[in-house]
Amino acid sequence: MAILQPLIDLVELCHLHGVTNAVISPGSRSAVLTLALARNPHIQCTVVMDERAAGFVALGMAQQLGKPVVLVCTSGSAAYNFAPAITEAYFQQIPLLILTADRPNEWIHQNDGQTIYQSGIYGRHVKASYELPADYVHPDASWYINRITNEALLTSLDKPRGPVHINVPIREPFYPQATENFIPSANLRVIEKIETLSVLPDPVWHSLLDEWENADKILIAVGQYTPGGELKSILTKLTEEFQIPVLGEILGNLAVHEQSLMNHELILGSWNQEILQPDLLITLGGSFLSKNLKKFLRELPPRNHWHISEDSHVIDPFQTITRQIKVSPEYFFPKLFEDVDYLRFVQNDEGGQDEEYLAEWVRAERYIARTKFRFLDDLTSFNDLSAVYFLLKNMPYPAQLHVANSMPIRYASIMGMDRNDIIVYANRGTSGIDGCVSTAIGSSLLTTLPVYLLVGDVAFFYDRNGLLISNLPPNLKIVLLNNSGGTIFRMIEGPASQPELEEYFETRHAYTAVRTAQDSSMLYWAVEEMVELQSVWTVFVEAEKPALLEIRTDPVINAEVFRQLKQSVRIEK
């Protein structure tokens, strides 16, 4: 395979840049890429036949690793099936290296098999897109492929991280002899990128401290994020010492302390919002789940809003940003604490911000939590919300919890997570229902922790091809809420009031997961009552094989319970 040696070297370069995992969807045109990966002893390969599922398996792996996972497919429509996962990776800032095999350019649109326009196929949903030459004989071709591969891998890890695409035209013949060894070229060039630390100059800090000092009511809000222990610790110290409330969404994965508020979605749907309006809002992380939080801040905007992010894009979901501070939260918050603490010392001021502001948030948090849990404890009917309440109370730890979009993530958000040793994930980059099963599988392949997936029936059946990989990991535990359709449309006033609700929005069905579990060699239980859930829970979580627990509920009861919960915490104004 001397003629295709640059592609063998491309794979070796991936290894030299620290890539350890690849996800491959089988195909012929991609044979040399597949074989180069499979025969590289440093890269572990996972085969997923469905490209859409494969993309999300790779995404789940990259979530765990924090570095690129290689994704390979053949030419034609196979490449388009990667697109949902690539868009999710782009907006969730997860690094992937996508290698799509292709026919040489002169054969495009010539009625040849599996041939489409693949160059730049993913548009703006990748950080960069490259096209390799189809002929590798000239030494410049090898130099170019080496440079492009180095650049692609470095770009995927540049902040903000994300997917990059290399389209690889390959001429025949592309199959080696069966006994042929794939030996990388000696002394492959690895380009190292020297990183610099982004810091803020002193005049900027002085300006920020002036705004801090002039704000009586400071609020910190954390979107989707997986902070390290040091950032958790400094945020806890900052907020406790200076009396600052923190709105910690379930996907923010914050350390839990008195100032960390988990019930803001319900608080902002019932409490006196004018009292809670901040002077200064500081945000970090990605997508925010809470619709009420967005509405609250748009209607009662803060005087100043700092967003802490290394992303160059201005992300302004609340329509309130006044400063986009392009540094990492890990740098910003320790420095902020140090400077504010020093300022207090110089001014001989041991106080913090407006203590009554924090007290009001804490009063609201305690009232809502107490009312919410009393409501849930008093329920007699079996329903989705009660099942999720049971799951979050009884899930063993440490663990990971993946939550599908639509109602499962809304249920989990309302319940909140009061443990530091359970990390919560969800695909909120684009917030689609596709790929949640496959993402959880990808994560479970690369962690020894139990990985729980909370998923609704529509999302589960939509992505069940992810379960077709061989040897599902034993730490995968799926909790399926099967309410026979898209119950979320019963919760939304618009579709819920239409006579076509069940047929055209909710898409009612009678499917169960029993055969899917059998096909995937998963242990399986189905429950329809709380006593049944309680009786199988221990054996489910302790199972040493991949397991699926199907919880069957009534969609009409689910919608009514959800409505009653929101009504139960409402305060007459």
Examine residue 191 and state whether it is found in any structural domain, yes or no. no
Q: Which residues contact 381 (CB under 8 A, 6 or more apart)?
A: 557, 561
Examine residue 150 and state whether it is found in any structural domain, yes or no. yes
| Same domain as 287, residue 426 | no
H/E run at residue 142: helix 139-157
Asked if 434 and 462 touch (Cβ cutoff 8 Å), the reply is yes
- Tokens 């967003």, located at residue: 307
- Tokens 């290698």, located at residue: 99
Examine residue 246 and state whether it is found in any structural domain, yes or no. yes
| Same domain as 426, residue 301 | no
Asked if 93 and 161 touch (Cβ cutoff 8 Å), the reply is yes
Spatial strand order in the sheet of 44-47: 44-47, 21-24, 69-73, 96-102, 163-169, 128-131
315 sits in the region (left: phi over 0; alpha: psi -120 to 50; else beta) called: beta
Asked if 454 and 483 touch (Cβ cutoff 8 Å), the reply is no
| Cβ count near 137 (within 10 Å) | 10
| Same domain as 413, residue 350 | no
What is the biggest distance separating any 2 CA atoms in the chain, rounded to whole angstroms? Answer: 79
Among the three residues 169, 187, 218, which one is the final residue of a domain in this structure?
169
Q: In whole angstroms, give the CA distance from residue 401 to residue 253.
A: 11
Q: In whole angstroms, give the CA distance from residue 182 to residue 176.
A: 9
| Cβ count near 351 (within 10 Å) | 10
Q: Is 205 exposed, middle or buried (0-12, 13-18, 19+ CB in 10 A)?
A: middle
| Same domain as 156, residue 209 | no
| Same domain as 101, residue 42 | yes
| Same domain as 535, residue 415 | yes
Domain count, the chain: 3
Q: Which tokens go with 367?
A: 């009232």
| CATH value at residue 479 | 3.40.50.970
Q: What is the mean pLDDT of the chain?
A: 91
Examine residue 177 and state whether it is found in any structural domain, yes or no. no
Q: Is the predicted pLDDT of residue 505 greater than 70, yes or no? A: yes
Split at pLDDT 50, 70, 90, the class of 386 is very high
- Residues 134-151 pLDDT 10s: 988 888 999 999 999 999
Examine residue 482 and state whether it is found in any structural domain, yes or no. yes
Examine residue 332 and state whether it is found in any structural domain, yes or no. yes
| Same domain as 403, residue 297 | no
Examine residue 117 and state whether it is found in any structural domain, yes or no. yes
Asked if 482 and 527 touch (Cβ cutoff 8 Å), the reply is no
332: Cα separation from own chain's centroid: 23
| Average pLDDT of the segment spanning 198-205 | 90
Give the rounded percent of residues in the chain with a pLDDT score beyond 90.
71
Nearest to 393 by CA among 363, 422, 366: 422
76: Cα separation from own chain's centroid: 28
Pairing of strands 422-425, 21-24: unpaired
Alpha carbons within 13 A on the beta-carbon side of 100? 31
Asked if 170 and 99 touch (Cβ cutoff 8 Å), the reply is no
Asked if 71 and 264 touch (Cβ cutoff 8 Å), the reply is no
Examine residue 209 and state whether it is found in any structural domain, yes or no. yes
H/E run at residue 481: strand 476-482
| Same domain as 432, residue 308 | no
| Same domain as 338, residue 386 | no
- Residues 8-24 pLDDT 10s: 999 999 999 999 999 99
126: Cα separation from own chain's centroid: 16
Among the three residues 145, 169, 193, which one is the final residue of a domain in this structure?
169
Q: Which tokens go with 279?
A: 């002077």
| Same domain as 358, residue 383 | no
Q: Is the predicted pLDDT of residue 117 greater than 90, yes or no? A: no
More confident residue, 333 or 496: 333
- Residues 461-504 pLDDT 10s: 999 999 999 889 999 999 999 998 766 776 667 766 677 676 66
Instruction: Name beta bridge partners: 482.
Output: 552
| Same domain as 27, residue 86 | yes
Print the domain residue range for 283: 202-362
| Average pLDDT of the segment spanning 88-115 | 90
| Same domain as 141, residue 73 | yes
| CATH value at residue 217 | 3.40.50.1220
